[in-house]
C-alpha cells in the first residue's frame, strides 16, 4: 500500500475556467484573481484579501506593509524558532531582522513566555505560526503586542480549518498570511494570500505586489479591460500612475490560471476540510497506543486544529532514532516529512545571525525528533490503519 503525503485538487470547474482564460489571451492578474480574493476573504471572515505569488511572499509583503505605518528597515520581528524556513526567510526578504523565541514542545508553537524577553526598542511585530494547524496562543500574544504597541501578523500557511476560541485562524491579528502551495488545503499550485480587516493595509499590499507602484485600486480597469482610468494622470500629465513608484516593492502577482485552480478548490473546501479532519482525529485517537514512546499534539477545549498533517515526536525515552522509524515507514510506502527545524541553530542560512546550538532547546528537540505524515482527503481508514500498524510493527522490533 502507498500513503502519499499530499494530493492536488484540480476540479472540472477549474479546467473549464483555464480553457476560457487561455482562449481570452488575458492571462495576467485580472478578474479571476479578483474573484478569488473576494471569495477567500469571505471564507476566512475578513474584509480584504490580496492574492500573491507564494506563501513566502504573503509573509514578506504583509511585513513590508509596516513601513507605511512607522517601521524602518532593520527593525525586528519576533518569530518562533521552529517553523518552515520560509517564515525566517520572509522576515529578511522584507528588510527586517528576525528575532527568534523558543516554542512550547507540546503545542509546537511560539511560547508566549519567551516573547517578552525578545522585545527591544526595535521590535515592530510578532509573527506567530500556527504550526501543523495547531492554533498559537493568540490571546496571550495579542496582550503582549498591545502592551508594547506591536503589530501581529499571523503565519497561517498551515491554518486552514483551524479555529481559536470560536474564531477562524487568520482573523486574530492585524494581518494573516496563507500559503496556496500544492501541499495545502486550498491550492493555486503556487500562490499566497494576505487577509486583513484594514483597507489601508490591503491598498498598500496591492502596491507592493506590483513593484510599489501608485496603482493600488481594488479593481484596475487598465489591467483588466484596457479601459479608461480617470486616475491615470493624477500626478500630472507627464506622470502615468502606472510608472509612479511610491515605495520599494516586489514582483508578486498571481495570474489568472492559478486563480482558476484556486476557485475550484474553494468550491470543495468544506468537504475536504471535513474529510481531512476525520483523518486527523482518527490518528490522534489511535496514536494513544504509542504514547509511551511517541507524542503528537492535543486539541484543547477552545480550539479546533486545522487538518494540515499529523505530527509525530519521539519521546526522550525512545531508544531509536527518527531516521530509523521514517526510513522504515518510507520503505513501506508511507511518505514522511521532517517536522522542520530550529531556524536559527539548525538551518545554515541563518548562521550569520549569531545564534548557537542550545539557544532554543525545545525547537531543536523537535528539529531532531519530529516528523509528519499526510491526512489529505484521498486517504481512508485503510491507509491510516496501515500507517499505525507499521508503527506498531516497528516498535515491536526496536523496543528492548
Give the per-residue pLDDT at 217. 65
Q: What is the mean pLDDT of residues 264-271?
A: 95
Give me the pLDDT at residue 386, please.
Answer: 98
- Report pLDDT digits (tens) over 197-212: 999 999 999 999 999 9
Tell me if the domain spanning 12-267 has CATH number 3.40.50.300.
Answer: no
State the DSSP H helix or E strand holding residue 42, giving kind and residue range, or none if neither.
helix 31-44
Looking at residue 230, its pLDDT comes to 66
- Give the three-state DSSP class for 101: strand
Q: Would you give the distance in Å from CA 33 to the centre of its chain? A: 19
CA distance 105 to 127: 18
d(CA 10, CA 263): 10
> 176 pLDDT band (50/70/90 cuts)?
very high
Show me where the domains of the chain are located.
12-267, 270-398
For 377, other C-beta atoms within 10 Å of its C-beta total 20
pLDDT over 90 at 15, yes or no: yes
Position 131 pLDDT exceeds 90: yes
Condensed to tens digits (0 to 9), the pLDDT of residues 312-342 reads 999 999 999 999 999 999 999 999 999 999 9
Looking at residue 337, its pLDDT comes to 98
Is pLDDT at 247 greater than 60 in this prediction? yes
> Given 130, 184, 308, 376, which residue is catalytic?
184
> For residues 50 and 170, what is the distance between their CA atoms, to the nearest angstrom?
13
Name the more confident of 106 and 216. 106
pLDDT, averaged across the chain: 94
Task: Write out pLDDT tens, residues 143-165.
Answer: 999 999 999 999 999 999 999 99
How sure is the predictor about 91, in pLDDT bands with cuts at 50, 70 and 90? very high
270-398 maps to which CATH number?
3.90.1150.10
The CA-atom distances, in angstroms, between 343 and each of 89, 280, 354, 400 are: 10, 27, 12, 34
Q: Is the predicted pLDDT of residue 266 greater than 60, yes or no?
A: yes
Would the pTM of this model clear 0.85, i.e. be above it?
A: yes
Q: Which three cell numbers stand for residue 385?
A: 490503519
DSSP annotation string for 262-280: HHHHHHTHHHHHHHHHHHH
Cell numbers placing 380: 481512508
Helices (H), 197-286: 199-208, 221-225, 256-267, 269-286
Q: Is 2 exposed, middle or buried (0-12, 13-18, 19+ CB in 10 A)?
A: exposed
Average pLDDT over residues 162-181: 98
308 is catalytic: no
- pLDDT for 225 beyond 60: no
The confidence band for 239, taking pLDDT boundaries of 50, 70 and 90, is confident
Length of the chain: 400
| Under 8 Å between Cβ of 276 and 375 | yes
E-strand ranges in 138-256 read: 151-155, 163-164, 167-168, 175-179, 192-196
Phi, psi of 227 (to 5 degrees): -85, -175
> Tell me, what's the pLDDT at 219?
66
Q: pLDDT, tens digit, for every residue of 370-379?
A: 999 999 999 9
Q: Closest Cα partner for 186 from 34, 282, 306, 60?
A: 306
pLDDT at 214: 79
Amino acid at each position: 500500500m502507498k500513503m502519499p503525503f499530499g494530493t492536488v485538487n484540480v476540479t472540472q470547474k477549474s479546467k473549464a475556467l483555464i480553457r476560457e482564460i487561455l482562449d481570452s489571451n488575458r492571462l495576467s492578474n485580472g478578474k479571476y484573481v479578483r474573484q478569488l480574493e473576494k471569495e477567500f476573504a469571505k471564507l476566512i471572515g475578513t474584509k480584504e484579501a490580496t492574492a500573491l505569488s507564494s506563501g513566502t511572499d504573503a509573509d514578506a509583503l504583509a511585513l513590508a506593509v509596516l513601513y507605511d505605518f512607522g517601521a524602518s528597515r532593520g527593525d525586528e520581528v519576533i518569530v518562533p524558532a521552529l517553523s518552515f524556513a520560509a517564515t525566517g526567510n520572509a522576515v529578511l526578504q522584507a528588510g527586517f531582522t528576525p528575532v527568534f523565541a523558543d516554542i512550547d514542545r507540546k503545542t509546537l508553537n511560539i511560547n508566549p513566555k519567551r516573547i517578552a524577553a525578545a522585545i527591544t526598542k526595535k521590535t515592530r511585530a510578532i509573527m506567530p505560526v500556527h504550526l501543523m494547524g495547531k492554533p498559537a496562543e493568540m490571546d496571550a500574544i495579542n496582550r503582549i503586542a498591545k502592551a508594547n504597541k506591536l503589530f501581529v501578523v499571523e503565519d497561517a500557511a498551515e491554518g486552514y480549518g483551524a479555529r481559536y476560541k470560536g474564531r477562524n485562524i487568520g482573523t486574530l491579528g492585524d494581518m494573516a498570511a496563507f500559503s496556496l502551495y500544492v501541499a495545502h488545503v486550498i491550492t493555486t499550485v503556487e500562490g499566497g494570500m494576505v487577509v486583513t480587516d484594514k483597507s489601508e493595509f490591503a491598498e498598500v499590499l496591492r502596491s507592493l505586489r506590483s513593484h510599489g507602484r501608485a496603482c493600488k485600486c481594488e479593481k484596475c480597469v487598465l489591467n483588466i479591460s484596457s479601459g479608461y482610468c480617470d486616475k491615470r494622470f493624477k500626478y500630472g500629465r507627464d506622470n502615468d500612475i502606472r510608472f509612479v513608484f511610491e515605495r520599494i516593492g516586489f514582483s508578486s502577482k498571481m495570474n489568472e490560471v492559478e486563480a482558476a485552480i484556486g476557485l475550484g478548490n474553494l468550491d470543495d473546501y468544506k468537504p475536504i476540510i471535513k474529510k481531512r479532519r476525520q483523518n486527523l482525529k482518527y490518528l490522534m485517537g489511535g496514536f494513544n497506543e504509542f504514547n509511551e514512546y511517541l507524542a503528537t499534539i492535543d486539541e484543547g477545549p477552545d480550539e479546533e486544529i486545522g487538518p494540515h498533517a499529523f505530527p509525530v515526536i519521539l519521546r526522550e525515552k525512545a531508544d531509536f532514532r527518527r531516521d530509523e522509524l521514517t526510513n522504515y515507514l518510507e520503505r513501506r510506502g508511507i511518505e514522511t516529512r521532517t517536522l522542520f527545524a530550529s531556524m536559527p541553530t539548525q538551518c545554515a542560512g541563518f548562521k550569520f545571525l549569531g545564534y548557537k546550538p542550545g539557544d532554543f532547546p525545545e525547537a531543536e528537540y523537535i528539529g531532531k525528533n519530529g516528523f509528519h505524515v499526510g491526512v489529505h482527503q484521498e486517504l481512508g481508514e485503510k491507509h491510516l490503519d496501515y500507517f499505525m500498524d507499521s508503527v506498531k510493527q516497528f516498535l515491536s522490533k526496536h523496543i528492548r
